[in-house]
Structure 1
Amino acid sequence: MDSKLVLYNTLSRRKELFEPIDPPRAGMYVCGPTVYGDPHLGHARPAVTFDLLFRYLKASGYKVRYVRNITDVGHLEHDADQGEDKIARKARLEQLEPMEVAHYYTERYRRAMDRLGVLSPSIEPCASGHIIEQIQMIERILADGYAYVVNGSVYFDVERYNRDFRYGILSGRNLEDIVANTRELDGQSEKRHSYDFALWKKASPEHIMRWPSPWSDGFPGWHMECSAMSTKYLGERFDIHGGGMDLMFPHHECEIAQSTAALGHGSANYWVHNNMITINGQKMGKSLGNFITLEELFTGSHRLLAQAYSPMTIRFFVLQAHYRSTLDFSNEALQAAEKGLDRLMKGVETLGKLRPSAASTVDPAELERRCREAMDDDLNSPMVISALFDWVRTINQLAEGQQHISEEDLERLRATVHRYVFDILGLRDEKAAGAATGRDYVTPLVEMLLAMRLQAKADKDWAASDRIRDGLAAAGIRVKDRKDGSDWELE
């Protein structure tokens, strides 16, 4: 394997060389969606981020087992011990079986991810399908003295755990700070401390989703599913655990504590967290009215959107920023991403039309080196895109005869561009795909107008040629004349 991948490990707070436990295999667990609503813009960033990592590990020669969970039970509003399960609440209000609700939104999520070019994970387990494993892990934690039972519910004893290990190792918090910033909740007297969290909750009489356990008919706490499912499918020790930065505390912190209490050691060697998406500088949220679903983005139906944006535009927009930086959404940013993507795909199209020369004045090894170094440096997709854009300029020079490339180098360049644009960045040429399926009406119309313009120029009808060019420009389409014809791109 040529890759020397360095990842920023949230646990150590530094960049570390990725050294899998069992090379050339790599195990990766990522916290997936909670399926109680339509997939939204916030779902796109972690999905694309870890799809990029999944793709790059595979392209680097690793055999990857990628586990992404589906949370269909136990994800409660705000504090994990408060409120009604969201799936159960929606089922009650709409008079549906809870699994109907979960299945409906799971399928909508999967379809949206497919449109974004996100590969299906190796395994996609559901929390509700692993109740037995969660009960077994809770029993181990109880047996080792790190949890307690009260009125049919089981709570993790954070203070007891902190005496033997350290609670707060991931987020950098210490228990004293957590105590100082945690309020005592009315009606929570059954817990020894307000910062203790539920491993198992006894179900109230009206609660729909419930399972039998040694303690009560109830349901697991939110955090328990990830500890149980990552251990089941990746073993007691695995390579990478990922998710959004908003999950670092309390979810991932609690997960580390549970797993360590049950197993005697931590599970994941590397913790990788993507940053958040903001909208015009504000955190995205329903209460602020800036919560945008992916379907609204694809159709342009949200009031904040100036137009519809294609799935690949959304993916390209996400990849233009480093995964650990904040990504600010705006119409202007998405429109810029749309133009950038069009420019890149035009470069790929031009590359496919190039004819080799006897010798080369360019070296495609430079593109491979820049892209590989960028990806190895903590998945620096913006630098990969920058290198590709530099070579789009070179490709255009090759097409115009300003540079030359041999047959061997041309094949190498095509292979490198295909590898990074399609295999690793996961982009698709939506225009080409649309034309193949009959859904793209713009491309054939533009091509027809360019053919008419070419004929007008052959007839020396310069006025007609200029009218076509200016009309396309007014529609946001820039025509580029080449020695062997014309090309076009979105302005």
Structure 2
Amino acid sequence: MSELKIYNSLHRQKEVFTSLYPGHVGMYVCGPTVSGESHLGHARPYITFDVVYRYLQFLGYKVRYVRNITDAGHFEEEGREAEDKIAKRAQLEKLEPMELVQKYTNLFHWAFLRFNCLEPSIEPTATGHIVEQIEMIKTIMEKGYAYESNGSVYFDVKKYAESHDYGILSGRVLEDMLESSNRELDGQEEKINNVDFALWKNAPPEHIMRWPSPWGEGFPGWHIECSAMSSKYLGKQFDIHGGGMDLQFPHHECEIAQSEIAHGELMARYWMHNNMITINGRKMGKAYNNTIKLTELFTGNHHLLEKAYSPMTIRFFILQTHYRSTLDFSNEALQAAEKGLQRLWAAFEVLQKLSYTADAQPINEELDKQVRQWCLECEEFISDDFNTAKVLANLFELSPVINSIKGGQVKMHELSEETFQLLKKTWQNFLIDILGLQPETLATDNSKLDGVIQLLMEMRKEAKGRKDYAASDKIRNQLLAVGIQLKDEKDGSMTYSIQ
């Protein structure tokens, strides 16, 4: 069995993984802010850490996987104003904030079940842990590393840096940050240093989501939420903390600082960060009008998409690239992934039907050795910082061998029985159990569903055109009752999302 090595962002190198408690692993991954629908960028971290979770379990570890839900708004430290994303979106959709949170939490769960992601062991919410956050802030204040100002509480970064390494994870230098942080940010006049970050914010009158605290009514800062929830369920120190590379600074850096003061030790021993997804070579974002929601991916209902793509195609596409490398999305790349996945499934289905038959003929030593090597390398590759790309490359190498056995070009006796059983075990272990791929039945079902919805939308459009508003409303309401929401766009078109 190969030693598991993980690239530790904290030390910028691969390290042999050893768990804090033998046989047990504690893993925390920053979950979604449920102020809107999940998009393609969200798919990468949760599929990446699903493979990490699966492989740790495959190795025999008992894993406590904690992935939070951020439902207490999202304080934008970098914005000019303290923006509560959830309250803002709730007002736009005419929903109560927690009604909106439930809607997008459900949609998140729905999408990632389709990706065949295992559910985490614990999924705590920020709003369910306000007490723990307040207690942690009080501890930090008692130790002299935070201060209250106008009902808000800030972490004193400069004081922390006198005896600790602020920038240990991101590599940033405090002096450079102090010189460059001269923008007019919200609450800057309340801070001792412009790099100090909020642990608690005083809620202005218009802020909907608010809780009582020793400093007045307010809401927690973004970073304190994860520190409080991870320590509650995994302890003061745990094994793995994961998330996207975009969270490395400031979120994870601030987590480290406040947790170290509150608990007296570094919160996580291994820090893992997946790289970003780009769209046709460009960063994904509202400014580029290239953010693709997961429901749009599944239905093809987006101007950048040539067709719908199944959840398994997207999962396969993501796993074809190592998680620390940039992944560029394009229709060409998705369609190539779709064909590649079909090839692997075809080979797997053939292999499942094959059974070894003994023969007096000698084995093909060269072929037998090569097949064994490709199989055994899968374990080496997944143990080398979860290199799913190399694992899939080896499965592609094995596919022609399997098809040749079926076609008769390779005789069964050319492989030893031991090698043949290793071949079957390798495909089951890696394709299904570790990489989490599954048959493409969902793709067919989804394309049929999309066709039915498109027909109903056309019928509704015709009803509105002849001013039969009763029929129009009936179609909309009955679709909504089964979890499909129609939206009339400003240009007269119609879109839908699945709740």
Is 2:393 aligned against 1:386? yes
Report the counterpart of residue 291 of structure 2 in structure 1: 291
Q: Which range moves more in the overlay, 70-79 or 28-37? A: 70-79
Report the counterpart of residue 476 of structure 2 in structure 1: none
Q: Distance in 2 between matches of 1:94 and 1:329?
A: 30
After TM superposition, the structure 1 = structure 2 runs for residues 206-221 of structure 1, keeping only pairs within 5 Å, are 206-221=206-221
Report the counterpart of residue 37 of structure 1 in structure 2: 36
CA contact (8 A) 1:81 1:197 kept: no
Report the counterpart of residue 99 of structure 1 in structure 2: 98
Report the counterpart of residue 248 of structure 1 in structure 2: 248
Where does the alignment leave 5 or more consecutive residues of structure 1 unmatched?
A: 442-491
Report the counterpart of residue 120 of structure 1 in structure 2: 119
Report the counterpart of residue 436 of structure 2 in structure 1: 426
CA contact (8 A) 1:275 1:327 kept: yes
User: Per-residue deviation at 1:366?
Assistant: 2.8
Report the counterpart of residue 482 of structure 1 in structure 2: none
Q: Distance in 2 between matches of 1:177 and 1:144?
A: 26
Report the counterpart of residue 462 of structure 1 in structure 2: none
CA contact (8 A) 1:80 1:221 kept: no
CA contact (8 A) 1:185 1:194 kept: no
Q: Distance in 2 between matches of 1:390 and 1:152?
A: 62
What's the secondary structure of 2:99's corresponding residue? helix
User: Per-residue deviation at 1:415?
Assistant: 2.1
Q: Which range moves more in the overlay, 183-192 or 400-409? A: 400-409
User: Per-residue deviation at 1:439?
Assistant: 8.3
Amino acid of the structure 2 residue aligned with 1:265: E
User: Per-residue deviation at 1:77?
Assistant: 3.4
Q: Which range moves more in the overlay, 9-18 or 403-412? A: 403-412
For each residue in 1:416-469, what CA deviation from the matched residue of structure 2 results, as whole angstroms up to 9, or x when unmatched? Answer: 2111001000001114x778x89889xxxxxxxxxxxxxxxxxxxxxxxxxxxx
CA contact (8 A) 1:80 1:198 kept: no
CA contact (8 A) 1:77 1:84 kept: yes
Is 2:353 aligned against 1:346? no
TM-score, reference length from structure 1:
0.86
For each residue in 1:244-290, what CA deviation from the matched residue of structure 2 results, as whole angstroms up to 9, or x when unmatched? Answer: 00000000001101101111121100000000000111000012011
Q: Distance in 2 between matches of 1:352 and 1:82?
A: 59
Amino acid of the structure 1 residue aligned with 2:389: P
Q: Distance in 1 between matches of 2:59 and 2:389?
A: 19
Amino acid of the structure 2 residue aligned with 1:346: A
What's the secondary structure of 1:61's corresponding residue? coil
What's the secondary structure of 1:342's corresponding residue? helix
Q: Which range moves more in the overlay, 79-88 or 231-240? A: 79-88
Q: Distance in 1 between matches of 2:317 and 2:93?
A: 36
CA contact (8 A) 1:8 1:16 kept: yes
Amino acid of the structure 1 residue aligned with 2:386: L
Q: Distance in 2 between matches of 1:391 and 1:110?
A: 34
For each residue in 1:309-329, what CA deviation from the matched residue of structure 2 results, as whole angstroms up to 9, or x when unmatched? Answer: 000000000000000000000
CA contact (8 A) 1:309 1:334 kept: yes
What's the secondary structure of 2:222's corresponding residue? coil
Report the counterpart of residue 153 of structure 1 in structure 2: 152
For each residue in 1:286-315, what CA deviation from the matched residue of structure 2 results, as whole angstroms up to 9, or x when unmatched? Answer: 120111011111101101111110000000
Amino acid of the structure 1 residue aligned with 2:238: F
Instruction: Tell me: CA distance 1:440–1:396, structure 2 relative to 1, closer, same or farther (3 Å).
Output: farther
CA contact (8 A) 2:30 2:243 kept: yes
Report the counterpart of residue 321 of structure 1 in structure 2: 321
TM-score, reference length from structure 2:
0.84
User: Per-residue deviation at 1:414?
Assistant: 1.8
For each residue in 1:364-401, what CA deviation from the matched residue of structure 2 results, as whole angstroms up to 9, or x when unmatched? Answer: 54343111000011111010001111111110111122
Q: Distance in 1 between matches of 2:280 and 2:111?
A: 24
Amino acid of the structure 2 residue aligned with 1:425: L
What's the secondary structure of 1:421's corresponding residue? helix
Q: How many residues align?
A: 438
Amino acid of the structure 1 residue aligned with 2:403: N
CA-based RMSD of the aligned residues comes to 1.9
What's the secondary structure of 1:209's corresponding residue? coil
Instruction: Tell me: CA distance 1:293–1:22, structure 2 relative to 1, closer, same or farther (3 Å).
Output: same
What's the secondary structure of 2:190's corresponding residue? coil
Q: Distance in 1 between matches of 2:383 and 2:122?
A: 26
Amino acid of the structure 2 residue aligned with 1:141: I
Report the counterpart of residue 58 of structure 1 in structure 2: 57
Instruction: Tell me: CA distance 1:69–1:157, structure 2 relative to 1, closer, same or farther (3 Å).
Output: same
Q: Distance in 2 between matches of 1:326 and 1:351?
A: 33
Q: Distance in 2 between matches of 1:434 and 1:243?
A: 28
For each residue in 1:166-219, what CA deviation from the matched residue of structure 2 results, as whole angstroms up to 9, or x when unmatched? Answer: 111100111101112212426521111111110001111111111111111111
Instruction: Tell me: CA distance 1:438–1:315, structure 2 relative to 1, closer, same or farther (3 Å).
Output: closer
Report the counterpart of residue 424 of structure 2 in structure 1: 414
Q: Distance in 2 between matches of 1:184 and 1:322?
A: 37
Report the counterpart of residue 406 of structure 2 in structure 1: 399
Q: Which range moves more in the overlay, 392-401 or 122-131? A: 392-401
Q: Which range moves more in the overlay, 350-359 or 239-248? A: 350-359
Q: Distance in 1 between matches of 2:124 and 2:166?
A: 27
Q: Distance in 2 between matches of 1:188 and 1:110?
A: 38
Q: Distance in 2 between matches of 1:330 and 1:358?
A: 47
What's the secondary structure of 1:27's corresponding residue? strand
Q: Distance in 2 between matches of 1:101 and 1:81?
A: 25
Report the counterpart of residue 336 of structure 1 in structure 2: 336
Report the counterpart of residue 16 of structure 2 in structure 1: 17
